[in-house]
Amino acid sequence: MEKMTEQQFRTIGNMLRKRSLWMLHYCTGCGSMELPAVGTSRYDMERFGVVPYITPRQADILLVTGYVNTKTLRRIVTVYEQMLDPKYVVGFGSCPINGGVYWDSYAVIKQLDRYIPVDLYIAGCMPRPEAIITGFMHLMELIDKGKATGYKRYKENLEYYKENQRKVLE
């Protein structure tokens, strides 16, 4: 019975939590160009409670827009570790998935998921605002079902992620 109520409590918590996602956009590449369109009058992501916020402490989503080179990876890891649980990472565009057009660059990392846990990818080069909003809706669905557990994975597999980060950064 006690377990049941705890489960219900968590479900209600997820249900409410998913409607208020504060986003920290780490604009590394060209992807940031699509975000003003998503945020302003035409597509208005505030309808779903997604609002850009300023500091890592306040944010829930880390949005990595575009390619990540080794220099910015260090900052991304710092920012990610400063955020408070539960936190989610969204890889935006094709660059965080497989390097995109920088697939053979020596300075760009190819898979973001090897360095910090990514909960959701929005594919495309560039994804249109509709795709971004669909992506956020999908993230809300994952949070509602309790499947967006990237922050837990990072804690459990800290050695793996730190090892990969060390290989690139040192």
Partner 1 sequence: MVKNILIAIGLPLLAFGIGISFMGFKRKIGARIQRRYGPPFHQPLLDIIKLLSKKSDISHGIIYDLGPMIALGASILTIFFIPIPGLKLLTGSADVIALLYIMVIGSLGMGLGAGESANPNSSIGIARALTLMFGYDLPFVIVIISVLLKYHTTNLYAITQAQAGGHWAMWVLPLSAIVGFIVIYGAMGEHPFDVVTAPHEVATGPMAEYGGKHLGLLFIDHAFHVYIELALFVDLFMGGASNIGWFYVKMFVLFLIIVFFDEVLPRFRIDDAVRFYWRWPTIIALTSLIIVLIGG
Nearer to partner 1, 10 or 71 (CB): 10
- Give the nearest distance from C-beta 84 to partner 1 in angstroms: 5
Q: Are 97 and 127 in contact (CB under 8 A)?
A: no
- Using CB under 8 A, list all residues that contact partner 1: 13, 16-17, 19-20, 40-41, 44, 46-49, 51, 53-58, 60, 83-86
- Give the nearest distance from C-beta 162 to partner 1 in angstroms: 19
Nearer to partner 1, 20 or 70 (CB): 20
* Residue 151 tokens, joined: 């922050």
Could you tell me the CA-to-CA distances from 78 to 16, 82, 115 in Å, in that order? 28, 6, 12
- Give the nearest distance from C-beta 169 to partner 1 in angstroms: 24
Nearer to partner 1, 82 or 164 (CB): 82
Task: Compute the distance between CA of residue 164 and CA of residue 170 in angstroms, rounded to an integer.
Answer: 10
- Give the nearest distance from C-beta 94 to partner 1 in angstroms: 29
